[in-house]
């Protein structure tokens, strides 16, 4: 009988916290500085230096803990994880081993099939990042860049609650959406602001104990995570079905070949000689600090989606897509705010269409983040408003949006632009009637055919009128008038 | 030339009265150092130009009427403290050419107080040793008998003060490194309450035990120095926020304690373990002297005293194994030549850079923290540490101060304990318990045995530093052991 295999996956997600300075030093954390310009004596592990915990990093970790309704221990401690590597300046990484800042919690992941998957969070702890070894900059030499040394990371560990690569990717996405909405991480995967390790094993369906697992390291894309895990499922199944065993090892995903390969054996687990860091006192999280963190808590993504659906009749799908980027929701809120006095019904819906349509397409085209969207919320709101009240046709909206996007000028006024560029829809029936008549006069053959029953030709006439109006006519109005005239 | 054995207050009178300038004082010290240091090896390096500049500055400030207790006072810094732009070797070959790019907090604070730094004093490599025979730059001789050791690890500091080569010297104490050499050299040295003096810029040996302190010719001088060094430092997370009002009061009272009716405890275990009859008689005489000053004595028990040495060596070595990982030959310090691989860089840099005792302790500590041994060594030692701390706390419910011997006996001969590591470690049997518990403690001269000085140790409750100095000052007002000079 053929065995049915169950896939079991757990994740460790490393979230780079967006603090202004490092976890234990005052050095800046900005991305892209030239090598070793953002590393102070503490990050370089000079003799005699000491770490001081960044209070903002602690608060951001707590914010995550509160968001997942986790147990928050009153005390957490830092430990040293000892190993030698040239980009690890002190010869140990300061991390939290025994007493993490965030205890057990829970998230509910929306899967692609539209079901809700509860995923237990084992813990989340603070730790410092290492520097970077660059092996290809100088032939025969390894270069070291310590800018990343001491960057604050929140490592989020899940229980092995996922049963498919797709679920794992959905979980990674969910955590991404959560930490970006919490404003504790910029979520920039390509700059390494989030990385994910996945533990994956297979077991015969119905078996309670876990099979031997492989750990996939350092994956920084949702798609790669799913691909890597898919590959692993196949690899492990083939091994098990041919009677072999899965080795406990760390594997790396190669996105070019779509395969994983072993990094280093983990049969003898590394001995990191963890012990409490004597340079840091236990962190005390008291009621006062928790209250402060709660007070500064931003709206959670699920609550945002729910609000968009309730207050602005945004569809569930659109709400989910909008909340994948907190800056989109902020932009939408700001646009609605700007129109608060005379926001007509449907403005929220219109704005969400604008965001998910043109805005998103333009962001993709120009490769920029929503945070630097050149069209201001007020401009966006005016565009949507003028489209809703019929002043601006959909084509006009599209053109004007592009004009404002390209200008990137926050002072541009939508109404003034409509006026200036003559984009106001021709709503004057007599002027439109003239256009309709001239099109009918110019195409007697098509008129004849239409009247003989080829009503599909209506589209042709609408197109001709629209062209004649240089797009300023309202197509709906045009087709009504055409139908009337042609029906005679 | 002024008398090289004047204490800080006497020097102050000369400087402020215009009988002697800081510059003359510096020149006199340099002349004496040139004459005597080749035999003693107290100083590793002199900061000649910087000292002359600081003295000239002090003279100008004194001439302008500035009055400040330490202005123009010549001191030495133990070579464990980082001094900006100057070599800081920590007694090790591995840092032979390393120039610190920053000042330790205490170096900064003493500079602000106006001291003149003559140079850096010799020490056991990374403060590991009790004889100053472990310095990579040669041993230090005891000024009372040049064939004998000065104690360690602050041997250079203690010998420099005892030989009249500095008015005071900074020092550090992890398990006894201030009190033992102070005792063997006939000077006064305090290990303040853990957390009272910043460790920032002090090269770490065992962070949870390392404490900066000072050695001088009298308790009053120690108080003046400590006043300038102590207090909260934002750069050291383990530094305590408590102020220095107690030291201010003591200094303002001319060293006199507000209460003379102190209860002094004699820990039975310490007295029973003291094998030297001469030492016991000396301590008894000290006790009579203190009684005549109005202090009452009673026996107390600290049953776990002798578990301190093993616990101390487990914890200190464990922390050291991690703290010294940063000396890897990668970013600074000695790098082995012709290394062909990364592992060889580590092996040759550390094999060549570290001395035998440092290697022994790194290996011991690495072992103690290893998987499978951690509970048996590190965890158990931590439990012993808690028991010892609790025993001190209980003792201080009934007494205000403890009086004990500082060392097992007088200074031993150079080479006498070479190869007998356990006997060497036993040198610390009276000093490690208070270090493990973080108590303040000092050693003051209390007599002689065969022409060699002996010290009495005072141990107090946390933050009773001023009280200990007050008791020592009262004792020194009534006795002249601390006024004795070696024949040089």
Among the ranges given (A47-56, A261-270, B252-261, B411-420), the one the predictor scored with the smallest mean pLDDT:
A261-270
What letter would DSSP give residue A471?
T
Buried b (16+ CB within 10 A) or exposed e, B2-41: eebebbbebbbebbeeeebbbbbbbebbbebbeebbeebb
- How far is it, in rounded angstroms, from Cα B152 to Cα B132? 5
Q: State residue A453's pLDDT score.
A: 85
The token pair that represents B173 in the structure block: 């104490």
Window 252-271 of A: residues touching B by CB (8 A cutoff) are 269, 271
* A152-158/A5-16 β-pairing: antiparallel
A51–chain B Cβ distance below 8 A for any pair:
yes
Is B207's CB within 8 Å of A279's CB? yes
Does residue A387 carry a pLDDT above 90? no
Query: Distance between CA atoms of B364 and B392, rounded to whole angstroms?
Result: 28
Can you tell me whether residue B70 is helix, strand or coil?
coil
Distances (CA, A) of B279 to B186, B407, B438: 14, 9, 26
CB contacts of A46 in chain B (<8 Å) are 100-102, 332
> What is the token pair recorded at A44?
């370089």
Q: Of the candidates B199, B208, B322, which has its C-beta nearest A50's C-beta?
A: B199
CB atoms within 10 A of CB B210: 26
Mutate to test the interface with A, among B236, B322, B438 (most CBs of A within 10 A): B322
Phi, psi (rounded to 5 degrees) for B298: -150, 155
B79-116, pLDDT tens digit by residue?
Answer: 999 999 999 999 999 999 999 999 999 999 999 999 99
Question: Is A98 part of the contact surface with chain B (CB cutoff 8 Å)?
Answer: no
The 3-state DSSP class for residue B456 equals: strand
Output the pLDDT for position A428. Answer: 67
Portion of chain B with pLDDT greater than 90, in percent = 96
Decide if B82 and A48 are in contact by the 8 Å CB cutoff: yes
Mean of pLDDT values over A75-92: 97
Residue A312 in this model has a pLDDT that exceeds 80: yes
Q: What is the pLDDT of residue B143?
A: 98
Query: According to the model, what pLDDT value does residue A341 have?
Result: 73
Chain A CB contacts of B199 below 8 Å: 50
Two tokens, residue B138: 């040669």
Question: Is B290's pLDDT higher than 50?
Answer: yes
Cα Rg, chain A, nearest whole Å: 29
The residue among A48, A51, A277 with the most chain B CBs within 10 A of its CB, best to mutate, is: A48
Q: Kindly list the residues from chain A whose CB atom is less than 8 angstroms away from the CB atom of residue B201.
A: 48-49
Lowest mean pLDDT among A264-268, A408-412, A451-455, B426-430: A264-268
Contacts of B238 in chain A (CB under 8 A): 50, 278-281
Give CA–CA dist B175/B432, Å, rounded: 5
User: Would the CA dihedral through B127, B131, B134, B135 be positive or negative?
Assistant: positive
Please list the active-site residues of B: 78, 153, 177
CA A253 to the chain's CA centroid: 21
Question: Is the CB of residue A50 less than 8 Å from the CB of residue B199?
Answer: yes
What's the number of CA atoms in the CB half-sphere (13 Å) around residue A23? 27
pLDDT-derived band of residue B150, with 50, 70 and 90 as boundaries?
A: very high
Alpha helices in B209-276 (DSSP H): 219-229, 245-252, 268-273
Chain B residues closer than 8 Å to A82 by CB: 321-322, 325, 369
Predicted pLDDT of residue A266: 40
Spatial separation of the C-alpha atoms in residues A277 and A128, rounded to whole Å: 13
- Mean per-residue pLDDT for B326-349? 94
CA distance A135 to chain B (A): 13
What digits encode the pLDDT tens for the residues A441-452?
888 888 888 888
Say what the pLDDT of residue B245 is: 95
Is the CB of residue A80 less than 8 Å away from at least one CB of chain B?
Answer: yes
Mean pLDDT of A213-227: 96
Q: Cβ of B238 and A47 within 8 Å? A: no
Contacting residues of B for A280, CB less than 8 Å apart: 237-238
A48 and B203 within 8 Å at the Cβ level: the answer is: yes
Report the residue of B369, B378, B435 to disrupt the A interface, i.e. the one with the largest count of A CBs within 10 Å: B369
Distances (CA, A) of A337 to A319, A330, A420, A480, B445: 18, 10, 27, 36, 78
B341/chain A closest Cα distance in angstroms:
11
| Mean pLDDT taken over chain A | 91
Measured CA distances, B356 to A357, B84, B92, B124, B172 (Å): 71, 29, 11, 11, 21
d(CA B297, CA B300): 10
Tens of pLDDT, residues B31-83: 999 999 999 999 999 999 999 999 999 999 999 999 999 999 999 999 999 99
**What's the pLDDT score for residue B431?**
98
pLDDT grade for A1, boundaries at 50, 70 and 90: low
Nearest CA in chain A to B374: A273
Residues constituting chain A: 488
**B240 CB-side CA count, 13 A:** 15
Torsions phi, psi for B465 (to 5 deg): -55, -45
Please indicate whether residue A435 or residue B186 has the higher confidence score (pLDDT). Answer: B186
Give the whole-angstrom CA distance, residue B446 versus residue B464: 21
- DSSP for A226-264, written as a single string: HHHHHHHHHHHHHHHHTT-----EEEEEETTTTEEEEEE
Asked if A82's CB is within 8 angstroms of B370's CB, the reply is: no
Tell me what the mean pLDDT of segment A276-290 comes to: 97
pLDDT of residue A417: 87
The ipTM assigned to this model is: 0.96
Residue range B155-206, pLDDT digits in tens: 999 999 999 999 999 999 999 999 999 999 999 999 999 999 999 999 999 9
Question: Which residue from B minimizes the CA distance to A145?
Answer: B331
Residue B137 has phi, psi (to 5 degrees) of -110, 25
Q: Give the minimum alpha-carbon distance from B480 to chain A in angstroms, rounded to a whole number.
A: 38
CA distance B208 to B218: 28
Q: Could you tell me the two tokens for B461?
A: 């409750």
Q: In which region does residue B450 sit, left (phi positive, over 0), alpha (psi from -120 to 50) or beta (all else)?
A: left
**What does the pLDDT average to over A312-338?**
90
Q: Rounded CA gap, A439 and A458, in Å?
A: 12
Any CB–CB contact under 8 A between A41 and chain B? yes
Which residue, B316, B343, B318, is CA-closest to B330?
Answer: B343
Chain A, nearest residue to B88 by Cα: A47
Interface membership of A273 toward B (CB under 8 Å): yes
Identify whether B424 is preceded by a cis peptide bond (ω within 30 of 0).
no
Q: What is the pLDDT of residue A268?
A: 45
CA angle B446, B452, B453 (to 5 degrees): 25
Q: In the prediction, which pLDDT does A264 show?
A: 63
**Could you report the per-residue pLDDT of B389-440, keeping only the tens digit for each?**
999 999 999 999 999 999 999 999 999 998 898 899 999 999 999 999 999 9
Residue A91 is nearest to which of B88, B326, B369, comparing CB atoms?
B326
Q: For A105-126, b where at least 16 C-beta lie within 10 A, e where not — what string?
A: bebebbbeeeeebebebbbbbb
A233 pLDDT band, cuts 50/70/90, is: very high
């Amino acid at each position: 009988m053929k065995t049915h295999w169950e896939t079991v996956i757990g994740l460790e997600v490393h979230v780079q916290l967006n603090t202004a300075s490092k976890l234990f030093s005052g050095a800046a954390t900005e991305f892209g500085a030239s090598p070793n310009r953002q590393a102070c004596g503490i990050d370089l592990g000079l003799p005699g230096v000491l770490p001081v915990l960044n209070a903002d990093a602690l608060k951001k970790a707590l914010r995550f803990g509160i968001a997942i309704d986790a147990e928050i221990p009153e005390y957490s401690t830092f430990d040293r994880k000892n190993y030698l590597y040239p980009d690890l300046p002190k010869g140990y990484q300061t991390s939290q081993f025994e007493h993490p800042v965030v205890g057990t919690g829970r998230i509910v992941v929306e899967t692609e099939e539209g079901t809700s998957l509860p995923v237990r969070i084992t813990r989340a702890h603070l730790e410092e990042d290492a520097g970077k070894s660059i092996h290809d900059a100088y032939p025969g030499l390894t270069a070291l860049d310590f800018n990343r040394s001491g960057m604050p990371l929140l490592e989020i560990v899940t229980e092995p609650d996922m049963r498919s690569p797709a679920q794992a990717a959905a979980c990674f996405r969910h955590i991404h959406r959560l930490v970006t909405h919490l404003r504790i991480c910029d979520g920039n995967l390509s700059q390494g602001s989030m990385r994910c390790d996945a533990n994956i094993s297979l077991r015969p369906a119905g078996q309670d104990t876990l099979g031997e697992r492989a750990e996939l390291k350092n994956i920084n894309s949702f798609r790669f995570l799913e691909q890597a895990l898919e590959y692993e499922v196949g690899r492990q199944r083939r091994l098990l079905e041919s009677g072999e065993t899965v080795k406990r090892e760390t594997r790396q995903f190669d996105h070019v070949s779509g395969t994983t390969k072993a990094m280093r054996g983990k049969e003898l687990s590394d001995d990191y000689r963890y012990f409490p860091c004597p340079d840091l006192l236990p962190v005390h999280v008291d009621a006062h600090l928790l209250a402060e963190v709660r007070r500064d808590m931003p709206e959670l993504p699920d609550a945002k989606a729910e609000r968009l659906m309730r207050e602005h009749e945004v569809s569930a799908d659109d709400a989910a897509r909008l909340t994948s980027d907190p800056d989109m929701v902020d932009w939408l809120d700001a646009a609605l705010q700007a129109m608060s006095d005379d926001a007509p019904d449907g403005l929220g819906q219109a704005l969400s269409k604008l965001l998910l349509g043109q805005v998103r397409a333009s962001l993709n085209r120009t490769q920029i983040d929503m945070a630097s969207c050149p069209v201001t919320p007020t401009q966006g709101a005016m565009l949507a408003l003028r489209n809703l009240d019929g002043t601006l046709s959909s084509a006009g909206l599209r053109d004007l949006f592009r004009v404002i996007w390209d200008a990137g000028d926050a002072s541009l006024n939508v109404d003034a632009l409509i006026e200036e560029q003559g984009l106001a829809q021709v709503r004057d029936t007599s002027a439109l009637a003239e256009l309709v008549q001239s099109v009918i006069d110019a195409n007697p053959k098509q008129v004849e055919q239409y009247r003989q029953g080829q009503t599909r030709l209506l589209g042709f006439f609408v197109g001709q009128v629209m062209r004649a109006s240089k797009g300023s006519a309202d197509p709906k109005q045009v087709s009504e008038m055409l139908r009337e005239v042609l029906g005679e | 030339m002024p008398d090289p054995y004047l204490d800080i207050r006497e020097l102050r009178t000369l400087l402020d009265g215009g009988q002697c300038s800081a510059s003359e004082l510096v020149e006199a010290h340099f002349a004496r150092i040139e004459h005597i240091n080749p035999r003693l090896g107290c100083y590793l390096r002199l900061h000649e130009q910087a000292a002359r500049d600081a003295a000239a500055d002090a003279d100008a400030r004194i001439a302008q009427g500035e009055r400040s207790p330490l202005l123009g006072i010549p001191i030495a810094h133990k070579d464990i403290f980082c001094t900006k732009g100057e070599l800081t070797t920590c007694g090790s070959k591995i840092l032979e050419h390393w120039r610190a790019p920053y000042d330790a907090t205490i170096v900064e604070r003493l500079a602000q107080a106006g001291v003149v730094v003559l140079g850096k004093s010799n020490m056991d490599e990374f403060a590991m040793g009790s004889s100053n025979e472990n310095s990579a730059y040669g041993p230090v001789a005891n000024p009372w008998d040049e064939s004998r050791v000065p104690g360690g690890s602050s041997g250079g500091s203690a010998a420099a003060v005892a030989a009249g080569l500095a008015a005071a010297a900074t020092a550090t104490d992890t398990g006894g490194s201030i009190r033992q050499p102070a005792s063997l050299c006939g000077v006064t040295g305090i290990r303040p309450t853990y957390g009272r003096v910043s460790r920032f810029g002090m090269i770490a040996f065992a962070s949870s035990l390392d404490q900066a302190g000072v050695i001088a010719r009298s308790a009053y001088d120690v108080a003046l120095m400590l006043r300038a060094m102590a207090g909260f430092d934002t750069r050291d997370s383990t530094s305590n926020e408590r102020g220095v009002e107690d030291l201010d009061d003591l200094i303002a009272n001319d060293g006199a304690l507000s209460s003379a009716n102190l209860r002094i405890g004699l820990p039975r275990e310490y007295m029973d373990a003291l094998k030297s009859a001469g030492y016991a008689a000396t301590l008894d005489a000290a006790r009579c002297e203190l009684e005549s000053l109005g202090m009452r004595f009673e026996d107390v028990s600290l049953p776990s005293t002798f578990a301190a040495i093993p616990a101390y060596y487990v914890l200190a070595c464990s922390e050291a194994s991690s703290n010294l990982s940063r000396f890897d030959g990668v970013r600074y310090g000695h790098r082995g030549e012709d290394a062909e691989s990364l592992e060889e860089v580590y092996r040759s840099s550390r094999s060549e850079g570290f001395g035998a005792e440092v290697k022994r302790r790194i290996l011991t500590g690495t072992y103690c923290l290893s998987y499978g041994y951690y509970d048996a060594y590190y965890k158990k030692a931590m439990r012993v540490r808690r028991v010892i701390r609790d025993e001190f706390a209980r003792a201080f419910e009934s007494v205000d101060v403890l009086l004990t011997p500082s060392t097992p006996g007088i200074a031993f001969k150079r080479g006498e304990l070479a190869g007998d590591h356990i006997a060497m470690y036993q040198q610390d049997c009276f000093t490690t318990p208070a270090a493990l518990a973080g108590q303040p403690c000092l050693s003051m001269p209390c007599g002689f045995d065969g022409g060699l000085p002996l010290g009495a140790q005072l141990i107090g409750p946390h933050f009773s530093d001023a009280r200990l100095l007050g008791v020592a000052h009262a004792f020194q007002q009534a006795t002249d052991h601390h006024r004795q000079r070696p024949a040089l």
